[in-house]
Each structure stands twice: as structure tokens, then as C-alpha cells.
Amino acid sequence: MVAHPPAPGAPLRDRLRALAASGLPLRVLLVKMSSLGDLVHALPTAAALKRGLGCRLTWVVNAAYADLVRCCRAVDAVLPFDRQHPLRGLSGFLRALRRERYHMALDLMGLLKSALIARLARAEVVLGASYNREGARFLYHACVGPQDLDRHAVLQNLDAATYLGLEADPGAFPLTFPPPETPLPSARPVAALIPGARWATKRWPEERFAAVAGRLLAEGIHVLVVGEAGADEESHWPAGVQDLRGKTSLVELGAVLTRADLVIANDTGPMHLAAALNRPVIALMGPTDPRRTGPAGEGHRVLSGSPACSPCFSRTCRNPDRLCCLTAVEPEAVLAAAREVLRRREPARRPALARPGQP
């Protein structure tokens, strides 16, 4: 039998567990303020801390995401940070931060401002991620995990659990949403399309999303379009599409996505939320690396043109063949992947998904 060396943070873990066993409230602060995808990737770490330490877990997050984080069953309290008006709300935020005496603070953001927040909480121990920058490491008592950015972001965050010797489950996304207020059909499969992305280089052409939507509608699929409101006034979308862009809160978006049988999306926060909800995702990825930020979990598909310049991690495309990492993906390839996913899910409920020209 091979003896495994103890986890580097095992003494800290044992001390924290002893505190919890003594009946004292064990308090842990988690700092991960944005973005939506990054927050989703931190959920398994929150679950590991809650399960492994039995702690009271407080999460510092940008105010825009506070309601979403409150839907995480591992989180006991949410401490919103007003990113839009940081100076105006700073004194109140610091008072709330110091209201509790934390036994441990964990910074999973790795920036100077997040490390300062973790330090200002006056926690007994401050841990930080290995991927930190801006000098944040000098504010930590220890950095957790190897500096290996070729792993998925979920695994990088879970280095904290491994450091403490806790069970690390990359598939644990403890989210619970209320039933959606948006009316959705119960008798037909639902496909959610997410055509937006903050980076222009992450956007598969909207007219191709619309072409896919039209084909899915013709095959008996109810099509939703979700995410932020479209920037263009011109609409490429066929009649029959239920357009919810800009009409849902993040919590309602999560509730709607739980009803989706299929999600087709660019590399964007709602795509990661859908994957966390165990919805089968077809992700269109070009400038980013699916090894790091592809949809987490099993049963997903990543489609990309995969030119030599990809991944470039750039907001500006410098390839003369503009955005060929995405435009090389044709609607028929997306439809083929969609049909495959829908055939696997509850086949008895599905309508016949025949290709055009086939019976």
C-alpha cells in the first residue's frame, strides 16, 4: 500500500476541524468577486470547504452577482462589494467585513484588491491561489497549488481543497433556483441559445445562431434566446423564437436554464452556468482554451475552427482571415451536434429529428 504524503495544509485543516468539533462557530471567508464564469468555477471549492470543514462560509462578491451566489447551498452569507461605487460604499463594506472574526480567508481571485480584502478581514490565516498577480502573494500566508494554468479553472480553484486535504469534487455545483417565472412548454424539448459575449472575438455570427434556431424550430424544438440584450436593432431571428435577452435577472436565467434540454453558446458566463446545472452544452470557442475554460463536466461538445493562432486569448483578431476560429464552424456542424445531444436525452419524448430530405 502506497503511503501518500500529508497535504501541506493538513495541520491547518486539523486545527479548523478541531475548532468546529469544539462547538465554536468556524468562520471562513471566500473572496471571488467576478466574473460570472469565474464565480461558477469557484462553486466546487465552496462546496468542498463547507463539506470538509463544516464551517460558516461567507462569500465576498460584486454586488451584481450577490443574488446568484445566494443560490449556492454551501454559502451561509454573502458580502456584496459595490464595484460601481467602490469609494462611496467602502466604509460600510469594511464595517461588514470586520463584523465577523474569520479563522481563514481564501482569495480565489488572485488580484491585489481581492488580497487586500482577504487581509483586511483580519483572518487568522490568509490563503491565496497560485495564479495570483499584481503582488497579491505578499499578502498571503501561503499560496495553494502548483502554477499550472493548463488545467481547467475548476481544478485550479480546487487546489485550495487539496492543500487542506479535503475531498475535492469538480462536479459539485450546489445551486438551487426557484421555479422560472417565464412560461416554458412542458411537452417539447427546449434549446437555449446564448449568442452574446463580452469579447467580440468570442461571438459566433448571430445570423448563424438564427439559422440554427430556424432549423430547430422546424424540427419541433422550442427555442429560447437568453443572455444580455442584443446590441443590433436588426433582427436575424425567425418567428417562433422566444427572445429573453435582457429580460431576466441572473437568478431567473439560472431557473430558465434548468429547463433546457440543450444549450448552444459562445464562451460566456451563462454558458458556464448552464454546464454547472448539468445541461448539455455545445460551446463555440475560438480565442480561448477549452482546457482552461471549456464547459465543466461531462456530455458537452466544443466546436472550433482551430487555426494555428488559436487560442490567442485576445479581444482583437489579428488574423487576416477574420475570426476564422469561429467562422469555420458552419451551422450544419452545430445542428449535427444538437441532434446527437437531443437523441441521447429522453428519446421517448423527442420528436423525430430527421435531416432535411430524410423521412
Q: Assess whether 132 and 220 both reside in one domain.
A: no
Question: Is 159 in the same domain as 195?
Answer: no
355 inside domain: no
Q: Is residue 259 part of a domain?
A: yes
Res. 214 pLDDT band, cuts 50 70 90 = very high
Please give the backbone phi and psi of residue 27, each rounded to the nearest 5 degrees, phi first: -115, 125
When comparing pLDDT for 86 and 48, which is higher?
A: 48
Confidence check: pLDDT of 314 > 70 = no
> In 3D, which of 96, 98, 95, 139 has the Cα closest to residue 119?
139
Is 228 in the same domain as 328?
yes
Start-to-end C-alpha separation, the chain? 59
**354 lies in a domain?**
no
Residue 286, pLDDT > 50, answer yes
Same domain, 282 and 152: no
Provide mean pLDDT across the span 117-138: 92
**CATH code of the domain containing 41:** 3.40.50.2000
Same domain, yes or no: 326 and 221? yes
State which residues form the domain around 330: 190-344
Query: Is pLDDT larger for residue 87 or for residue 29?
Result: 29
Both 220 and 260 in one domain: the answer is: yes
Q: Is the pTM of this model over 0.85?
A: yes
Does residue 172 sit within a domain? no
Strands 190-194 and 125-129: unpaired
217 with 136, same domain?
no
| Residues 153 and 22 both lie in one domain | yes
| Residue 225 and residue 88 share a domain | no
- Digit-coded pLDDT (tens) for 8-45: 777 777 877 777 677 777 899 999 998 999 999 999 99
Task: Please enumerate in sequence order all residues whose Cβ is within 8 A of that of 276, keeping only pairs 6 or more positions apart, or say none.
Answer: 40, 43, 173, 175, 296, 297
Instruction: Point out the domain boundary residue: 163, 182, 211.
Output: 163
Residue 232 maps to a domain: yes
Q: Convert the pLDDT of each residue in 172-204 to its tens digit.
A: 999 999 998 888 887 789 999 999 888 788 889
Query: Is residue 224 within a helix (H) or strand (E), and if so which, with residue range?
Result: strand 222-225
Number of domains in the chain: 2
93 lies in a domain?
Answer: yes
Residue 149 · residue 292 · CB < 8 Å: yes
Shared domain check, 153 and 209:
no
Residue 211 sits in the same domain as residue 142:
no
Q: 3-class DSSP state for residue 184?
A: coil
Q: Which residue has the cell 452574446?
A: 196
179 located within any domain: no
Mean pLDDT of the region 98-109: 94
pLDDT higher at 304 or 48: 48
Co-location of 240 and 329 in the same domain? yes
Q: Report yes or no on 181 lying in a domain.
A: no
The grid coordinates of residue 13 equal 485543516
